[in-house]
Amino acid sequence: MSTGLNDNEIISKVLSGDYQAYAGLVNRYQNYVFTLTLRIVKNREDAEEVAQDVFIKAYKYLADFRGASKFTTWLYTIVNNTSISFLRKKKLDIHSLDNEKIFEMADNQDSGMRANMVEQKSKLAMVNEAIGLLNPDDAQIITLFYKAEQSLEETAQVLGIEVNAAKVRLHRARTRLKEKMETYYAEEVRNL
């Protein structure tokens, strides 16, 4: 329906009253938005709720998108704000999440199967799991930069920080990711 159109063309259609055209944007970016929210809220059900909220907010305020930046940059700014508001509402301190506890929880969930699964687990699944063990800030910047196809400048814009600060944060996040991979997936890292 709207798959051949670019983002701005779809937005023009939606703004001129064709609300069904919005499905084109939802289908195009649902995985990106869901992955980002999942990295921040760390729970699939909550992430789906937040991601839906993001698309609904984006629709409601679509007239405010002036095209000064990419649509995705604007959309991911809504993802960032909505996810952080959600965490605040749940009274979770995003900075105090204990990574080791998160890992223990994840580890306990599949403790029986883990030994057999380690060998079968693909490298990509290992990376995804390792990102899941990072704190929300680190996971978010890695996801924005690598999966959401945002440049360093756009990533900084989404997070509301300076480009240099984004560069430093990304570097620290990658260092922590590497540490997590070496600590919890030493075998897989050796076989890389």
Distance CA 5, CA 25 (A): 10
Is residue 121 a contact residue for another protein (CB under 8 A)? Answer: no
Out of 7, 10, 55, 75, name the contact with another protein by CB under 8 A.
55
Count how many Cα atoms sit within 13 Å of the Cα of residue 128 in the half-sphere of its side chain.
Answer: 10
Distance CA 179, CA 172 (A): 11
Tokens of 97: 């999440």
Within 139-168, the residues that bind another protein by CB under 8 A are 142, 146-147, 152, 167
Do 79 and 148 form a contact (C-beta atoms < 8 A)? no
Nearest residue to 106 (alpha-carbon basis) of 79, 131, 74: 131
In whole angstroms, how close is the CB of 168 to another protein at the nearest point?
Answer: 9
In whole angstroms, how close is the CB of 33 to another protein at the nearest point?
Answer: 8
Out of 43, 104, 171, 183, name the contact with another protein by CB under 8 A.
171
In whole angstroms, how close is the CB of 41 to another protein at the nearest point?
Answer: 12
Is residue 175 a contact residue for another protein (CB under 8 A)? Answer: yes
Tokens of 109: 């969930």
In whole angstroms, how close is the CB of 152 to another protein at the nearest point?
Answer: 7
Which residue number, 47 or 79, has a Cβ lying nearer to another protein?
47
